[in-house]
Amino acid sequence: MSIRFGLVESSVAVLPFTQPALWVALGLPCLLGVLGAWLRPQRTWPILLAGLPLAASGIVLLMIVEQHGLQRWQLEWGKLTVQLRLNGLSVLLLLLTQGLGLVAALYTPGELRHADPAQRRLERWLWPLLGILVGSLSLIWVAADLLTLYVALELMGLSAVGMLLLPGKVESLVAGIRYLLLALVGSLSYLLGVALILGHWGRLDLAGLVQVVEAGPVAWTAAALLGAGLALKAALFPLHAWLAPVHGNAWVPVSALHAALVIKASLFILLQLWSVLIPDSLFAAQLVAWLGVIAIFWGGGLAWRAVELKSLVAYSTVAQMGYLMVVFPLLLGPGIPASVQGLAWQGFWLYLVGHALAKAAMFLAAGNLILATGNTTLQGLTGASRQLPLSLLAFGVASVSLIGLPPSAGFTAKWLLLRAMVIQAQWAWVAALLLGTLLSAAYVFRVFRYSFVETAPHYAFRALPPWLDGLALGLALASLLLGLFAYGPLTLLQGSR
């Protein structure tokens, strides 16, 4: 597993372009964020123009990895060393982060223009926080030592909390302070785990730890501490209670980014650290998987009963994280055949990327529907099909991927995962995956049940600028097409071995 994360010696020397491109990818978002706070863009074309060099840096890094494979290097800074690695997985997630960050930035002026003026007091701060969030997420994908991961995790967590608080409503403040306190305690748990590792093995670089870690109480305790802290931040069941209020009360692009990337970053670190510390532990992976099974049904059930549109989308995140948790026993554990692990590895990341795109699209679409109808509940959507066809189309295409219907990324990923589970004869997980799919179809179709009520009176819906729908539809289509063109990303993931 650690090989798949690129924690091995690289055969290639670091290319001269790699570092500058990475600095652009890490630093430019923060710089643009400061610029955004100063200029407060009201239109989309300046944002698009500013995002171009960022996307260019991502594409340069993609080309480097495609041609030369894994790159690893370290930076010395006084007595401290910072380890970085760039492989197929990190480039894929980096591109995803840049894309979603750009879409969120493009959506922001539209959202702010329609927001209640009382809630716009702090809108200036959104831009730098967005920049720091994108920069720190990018750092998480490439960092390969525990210190850098800690710094990036904290930057990400604090900027995410800050962004969620900006509307300044009482509900968002109450949800935000709960999230803040839990996230802070989660990072202390992470820090204690790191302390155990540093005290026992005397090093923090993951590739070095792979060589020296042996199974034992220290590795297990450290894994438990790191796991608990990160599971709290990733809203893994049963530590998910803070998630829905936070998503329900934030600005739309902020909830989209948070659901799509921020909680996934903690999951990414969790899987990476466990594959270093407890690659052969049966119990931990099984525990996570069973919790995942409960999450699929618990989250699905809550989404099915949700009254508000945004909390439906938020609870569905709890359920969808459950699918990713169920894959753990196929990735970690003794005696998993390489072919099964390969399938599960590809399925896991494809599912994560597909879900990130679909969930962001769904939040944007839900935001559009709420902006247009001025009503946050599901019932407020009655009759929306006649007047808001584009927003509903975006929601529908996103839900195709979320449910896992062909040809979406959700379908391809679930197919890979099912194959791996069937080969391993893990029928319990197969059943959970299939029943969970039915359940997600059930709660998503509730939205359409309301919106296609034909006898509804004509409500006065607010007209939206077409590019708001365009952004949601674009993301939803990306998630759909990722299933058809999964070959490229999958070879990139496989090439990272």
Partner 1 sequence: MSATPPLFDLLLALGLVALALGCLFDRHLVRACSVFVGFALSMALAWWQLGAPWLALAEFSLGAGLTGCSLFYALGVLPPGSPLPSRRDWFREPFRQAAIRAVLALAWMGMIGAALRHSVPVMAYSPMQQPLLLAGVAMSALGLGAFALHRHLLRRLLAFNVLGSGVFLLLAGLTGTMAHAQALIITGLGVAWLGTLLGAMLIRRLYHLQGAKALISDNESIRQKRQGP
CB 273, min distance to partner 1, A? 15
* 192 contacts partner 1 (rule: CB under 8 A): yes
Rg, the chain, Cα only: 21
At 386, the amino acid letter reads R
CB 183, min distance to partner 1, A? 8
Stretch that binds partner 1, among 2-10, 67-75, 184-192, 359-367 (CB under 8 A): 184-192
Q: How far apart are CA 432 and CA 419, in angstroms?
A: 14
Q: Among residues 56, 191, 294, 453, which is the contact residue for partner 1, using CB under 8 A? A: 191
CB 221, min distance to partner 1, A? 4
* 185 contacts partner 1 (rule: CB under 8 A): yes
Q: Burial level of 31, CB count in 10 A (0-12/13-18/19+)?
A: middle
CB 129, min distance to partner 1, A? 12
Q: Which residues contact 216 (CB under 8 A, 6 or more apart)?
A: none
* 475 contacts partner 1 (rule: CB under 8 A): no
Q: Among residues 161, 244, 257, 295, which is the contact residue for partner 1, using CB under 8 A? A: 161
Q: Among residues 162, 347, 474, 489, which is the contact residue for partner 1, using CB under 8 A? A: 162
Site residues for partner 1, 128-147, by CB under 8 A, read 147
Size of the site for partner 1 (CB under 8 A): 38
Give me 111's structure tokens.
């959202």
* 120 contacts partner 1 (rule: CB under 8 A): no
Q: How far apart are CA 41 and CA 48, in angstroms?
A: 11
* 154 contacts partner 1 (rule: CB under 8 A): yes
Q: Among residues 45, 67, 78, 338, which is the contact residue for partner 1, using CB under 8 A? A: 78
CB 136, min distance to partner 1, A? 12
* 184 contacts partner 1 (rule: CB under 8 A): yes
* 225 contacts partner 1 (rule: CB under 8 A): yes
Stretch that binds partner 1, among 176-184, 230-238, 351-359, 453-461 (CB under 8 A): 176-184
Q: Are 127 and 166 a contacting pair, CB within 8 Å?
A: no
E-only strand ranges, 4-50 = none
Q: Are 361 and 476 a contacting pair, CB within 8 Å?
A: yes
Looking at beta carbons only, is 75 or 195 nearer to partner 1?
195
At 107, the amino acid letter reads Y
* 109 contacts partner 1 (rule: CB under 8 A): no
Q: Are 104 and 48 a contacting pair, CB within 8 Å?
A: no
CB 373, min distance to partner 1, A? 26
Distance between alpha carbon 459 and the CA centroid of its chain, in Å? Answer: 36
Q: Are 451 and 381 a contacting pair, CB within 8 Å?
A: yes
Looking at beta carbons only, is 162 or 483 nearer to partner 1?
162
CB 96, min distance to partner 1, A? 26
Which element (helix H / strand E) includes 352? helix 338-373
CB 253, min distance to partner 1, A? 21
At 164, the amino acid letter reads L
* 150 contacts partner 1 (rule: CB under 8 A): yes
Looking at beta carbons only, is 185 or 282 nearer to partner 1?
185
Q: Which residues contact 52 (CB under 8 A, 6 or more apart)?
A: none
Q: How far apart are CA 195 and CA 204, in angstroms?
A: 10
Q: Which residues contact 246 (CB under 8 A, 6 or more apart)?
A: 164, 172, 175, 176, 178, 179, 255, 258, 314
* 176 contacts partner 1 (rule: CB under 8 A): yes
Measure CA of the first residue to CA of the last residue in the chain; give whole Å. 9
CB 176, min distance to partner 1, A? 7
Residue 279 to residues 196, 221, 268, 293, Cα–Cα distance (Å): 18, 14, 15, 21
Stretch that binds partner 1, among 34-42, 193-201, 267-275, 392-400 (CB under 8 A): 193-201
CB 181, min distance to partner 1, A? 6
Q: Are 154 and 190 a contacting pair, CB within 8 Å?
A: no
* 180 contacts partner 1 (rule: CB under 8 A): yes
Interacting residue ranges for partner 1, rule: CB under 8 A:
78-80, 147, 150-151, 154, 158, 161-162, 165, 168, 170, 173-174, 176-178, 180-181, 184-185, 187-188, 191-192, 194-196, 198-200, 202, 204, 217-218, 221, 225
